Amino acid sequence: MKIQVSVGISTLFLLEYYHCYENICRRNSTTVLQSSTYDNQQETLAIDGDLRTKYRYCAHTDVNQTVAWLQVDLGKPYSISNVTLYYRKDGLGNNEWQPYRFRQFYLDVSDLPATQKTTAHRTRCYTDNTTHPDVLPHIIDIPCKHTVRYVIVETTYDAPEDDPTTGAILEICEIEVYGCETGEYGDDCKPCSECKTCDVNNGICGDSMVSIECTGENNLPGCSSPRMIKTTMRIITVTAAPSMVEVVVQLVPYSSPSWAVGLLRMELSMISVRNLRNLHTGNPHDDETLLNSFEGD
């Protein structure tokens, strides 16, 4: 069940796509590894800070491989916000080298390295679905809000333009991973105020386990018999500006609106959200019930 509380949503786009975080790839503790190497185009070219996209400045995996990957090891877990990739594109006019080998790549994050035999332990941030003859932009910024150590770009795509050369190939000229130390958030990486880790964009704490003892005396509608209710409320996004606020939360597992009211009140008290007017649960009756419960705050 999702409950959305919103008064304007325009700042969400800005929070998601504009950043001034640290590029953690430029730290001395960050290392990079690729699955194979073509010629002398080593993986370190992808984190040297040079944004030029001609062949000589790019890491390049070998040809005739079934899978190609490039892994950034941050050295320890960081709270990351987004990843920017600069792919090979050089030449002029009809001789311009297009990023056709970039099609259908995917971006994963993990606490385990890419050398693990499967991807089951990874979290997928992005999968590209571009097909021939279309090509991607050679510079792409991908939102990827997770607390992780490894960032992995991988592909199994065999571009038809490469005939007779075969196999998956990556030509990444630079990768930038933006974020903060774990326990920090925002453009200037301020400490999280209410928890050890928080949303890297807005500082809101993530999952929180809430236990409520239902005694029939705690004024929660529907609470009529003694029992202990435990549920997880995940604050997905919080967007704020002088005249607008948007909060999206998810209750896991499903909680009835009566319990959602109590849980929502507890969580929103942390961020001083008051006078809610627009609630959307997907059920008009539930919307009215929830909205009425907040009137007069």
pLDDT tens for each residue of 111-120: 999 998 777 8
Alpha helical stretches, state H, 10-135 = 11-17
Mean pLDDT of 37-63: 97
Q: Which residues contact 277 (CB under 8 A, 6 or more apart)?
A: 7, 291
Q: How far separated are the first and last CA of the chain, in Å rounded?
A: 23
The pTM score is: 0.66
* pLDDT digit string, tens, across residues 2-13: 333 332 222 223
Which residues partner with 205 through β-bridges?
198
Say how many residues make up the chain.
Answer: 297
**Residue 215 confidence (pLDDT) above 90:** no
3-state SS class at 68: strand
Does residue 160 have a cis peptide bond before it, meaning omega lies within 30 degrees of 0?
A: no
Q: Which residues pair with 31 in a beta bridge?
A: 73
Winning range, highest mean pLDDT, from 48-57, 84-93, 270-279: 48-57
Place of tokens 């959602």: 260
Q: Going edge to edge, which strands form the sheet with 227-241? A: 207-214, 227-241, 244-252, 2-7, 279-280
Tokens of 250: 């998810």
H/E element, 286: helix 284-294
Contact 25, 59 (CB under 8 A): no
